[in-house]
A and B are shown apart, each in its own frame.
Chain A
């Protein structure tokens, strides 16, 4: 039974397109994914593909002018705004992107146990800190006294304190050296081994491939493919032409640049969102494209038999 299930999620924003004209801008169109307990799933996609919005939607913290449609299930029960408010920070936690999310006026220890008093809370804080190679002095420090790497570990510590069942990590590695990034992702892997579900939002495909179980690819507000991490070992096992182009563009592969770019949010082509860039696009691609299973994963491509090797 999946821990979290997202079905056909869409998100739109009310915006002023001209000075006095308000319209709804659809940014996320159709997202589908699921996470099982003990699993680490990566979401990869370029900026503007909707990956951070998904995290905000799950946590019920979308901005005031956003509205969403579609279904969210947690523990097989619908996850609505009221329910997520009781779970957020306890069963479901977010590890934010930047270390600026630490409260500059609060000691690290307090941020980890979230103000709980008593010896037990203190002991637990210290044991979590030591798990991440930090000593008890760290608990007494203010954020400005921490190095970037330490601050990141404090953020992770405060996330695991409540023993969450679902961890959402929003770009936890940019700006980190490769070894440091691997170490951070190692910590998330440990959480998964304790049976939590980990959702890793990243744009670093290589890192996702090395550390996660499954990879879901976002493109212009759609989930276009769900693959096993090992499917990325060679291009032939990938299911969608966009994913294949991504693979080819990796510096360690061919570093080849396919033409075109992700369409802007206000452009809404009929049918397949990738068709304008796709070499194999045909008239068939103008109809609406279902998200369907293929070889242990999913793909949103009508010509999937093309990629069925």
Chain B
């Protein structure tokens, strides 16, 4: 399977700055790509377009030749966000939020260090690092083919960061899931990815 963006352009409002113009990227499911750019260059926006959260003004995003917006139900391209507390419903117990991804094997929960005790709690009762583990688990549903990671470990301490990536890299390799990762830390990108793409047009 291939995820590709062809000549995509994007800006938030007519008259506001052009965030992306005629951008191209191609991802195979067996590669891990790092995306590098200064802040404000539209990395998050690009990931959102690739995952179908935003529509590009022009150009196309295709998964296996089919537009990403045509995939109904579980989307094979899943995005993990920088701030987990914004993507978890504060009024739902974490087990319920997690269940939205379908049945997850025990391996994933154990690998991410999610304790049974956390499942019955609400997001406000756990730390950002603990919540991010749930968001990562939720993005690893059975049908995930590409994972888009938007600075997912920036807010975590170094040890948690190493723990999470240690598990994720093994999981991705085993299931042949492709990765597109954004980080400001070059050293981290070098540890994680097989190649890097620079977003420097504008």
Q: Touch between A and B in complex, CB under 8 Å?
A: yes
The contact string, 1 if C-beta is below 8 Å from chain B, for chain A 113-139, is: 000000000000000000000000000
- Which residue of chain B lies nearest to A203 when distances are taken between CB atoms in the complex? B157
Chain A, Cβ-Cβ closest to B183 = A251
- Total interface residues on A, CB under 8 Å, equals 33
CB neighbours of A177 from chain B (8 A)? 37-39, 184
Chain B residue numbers with a CB within 8 Å of A256 are 162
Give the residue of A48, A180, A251 whose beta carbon is less than 8 angstroms from that of B187: A251
Interface pair A174/B155, CB less than 8 Å apart? yes
Give bound CA distance, A49 to B127, whole Å.
10
Chain A residues whose CB sits within 8 angstroms of the CB of B128 once the complex forms: 47-48
| Beta-carbon contact of B127 and A205 below 8 Å | no
State which of A62-70, A153-161, A242-250, A299-307 sits at the interface with chain B.
Answer: A242-250
Describe A's contact surface by its main secondary structure.
loop
In the complex formed, the residue of B with least CB distance to A176 is: B39
B59 contacts partner chain A, Cβ-Cβ < 8 Å: no
Known contacts A176-B184, A203-B155, A261-B160; A251 and B190 CB within 8 A of each other: yes
Contact in complex: B39, A180 (CB < 8 Å): yes
Asked whether any CB of chain B lies closer than 8 Å to the CB of A288, the reply is no
Task: Judge if A252 is at the interface, Cβ distance under 8 Å.
Answer: yes
A178 to B40, CA, bound (A): 13
From known contacts A177-B39, A178-B184, infer whether A262 and B162 are also in contact, taking CB-CB under 8 Å.
Answer: no
Among A48, A147, A180, A251, the residue within 8 A (CB) of B127 is A48
A147 near B40 (CB under 8 angstroms)?
Answer: yes
Q: A257 an interface residue at 8 Å Cβ cutoff?
A: yes
A249 and B190 CA atoms in complex are apart in Å by 14
The answer to whether B159 and A257 have CB atoms under 8 Å apart is: yes
Q: Are B159 and A148 in contact (CB under 8 A)?
A: no
Contact with A along B125-151 (1 / 0, CB 8 A): 011111000000000000000000001
Give complex CA distance A203, B184 in Å. 14
A101 part of interface (Cβ distance < 8 Å): no
Measured between beta carbons, the chain A residues less than 8 angstroms from B156 are 46-47, 203
Q: Are A148 and B155 in contact (CB under 8 A)?
A: no
B residues in contact with A250, CB < 8 Å: 158, 187
Judge whether A296 is part of the interface by a CB distance below 8 angstroms.
Answer: no
A261: chain B residues within 8 A (beta carbon)? 113, 129-130, 159-160
Report if B186 contacts A (CB, 8 A). Answer: yes
CA distance A177 to B38 in the complex (A): 5
Q: Are B157 and A246 in contact (CB under 8 A)?
A: yes
Q: Which of A180, A245, A251 contacts B38 (CB 8 A)?
A: A180
Q: Which positions 152-193 of chain A face chain B at CB distance < 8 Å? A: 174-181
Contact mask B142-179 → A, CB, 8 Å, 1/0? 00000000010011111111110110000000000000
CB A268 to nearest CB in B, in angstroms, measures 16
Residues from chain A with a CB closer than 8 A to the CB of B155 are 47, 174, 203
Q: How far is the CA of A177 from the CA of B191 in the complex (A)?
A: 18
Q: Are A249 and B159 in contact, CB atoms less than 8 angstroms apart?
A: yes
Q: Answer whether residue B185 sits at the interface, using C-beta atoms and an 8 A cutoff.
A: yes
Whole-angstrom distance between the Cβ of B55 and the nearest chain A Cβ: 24
A46 to B155, CA, bound (A): 8
Which of A47, A203, A252, A258 counts the most B-chain CB atoms under 10 A from its CB?
Answer: A47
Chain A residues with CB under 8 Å of B185's CB are 178, 206, 251
Complex partner residue of A257 from B126, B163, B190, CB under 8 angstroms = B163
Q: Determine the residue in chain B with the shortest Cβ distance to A181.
A: B184
- Closest-by-CB residue of A relative to B159 is A249
Does A89 touch B at the CB level, under 8 Å?
no
CB atoms of A249 and B39 under 8 A apart: no
Q: Does B188 contact A (CB under 8 A)?
A: yes
Contact with B along A235-246 (1 / 0, CB 8 A): 000000000011
| Beyond known contacts A206-B185, A206-B187, A252-B187: 20 more, CB 8 A cutoff | A46-B157, A47-B129, A48-B129, A148-B39, A149-B40, A175-B39, A177-B38, A178-B184, A181-B184, A246-B159, A249-B161, A251-B161, A251-B188, A251-B190, A255-B162, A255-B166, A255-B191, A256-B162, A257-B165, A259-B163
Q: Name 21 A/B residue pairs within 8 A (Cβ), A-sorted.
A: A46-B127, A46-B159, A47-B157, A175-B151, A175-B154, A178-B184, A181-B184, A203-B157, A205-B158, A206-B185, A206-B187, A249-B159, A249-B162, A251-B187, A251-B191, A255-B165, A257-B162, A258-B162, A259-B163, A261-B129, A264-B127
Which residues of A are interface residues toward B (Cβ below 8 A)? 45-49, 147-149, 174-181, 203, 205-206, 245-246, 249-252, 255-259, 261-262, 264
7 nearest CB pairs, A to B: A46-B157, A257-B162, A257-B163, A251-B187, A249-B158, A249-B162, A48-B127
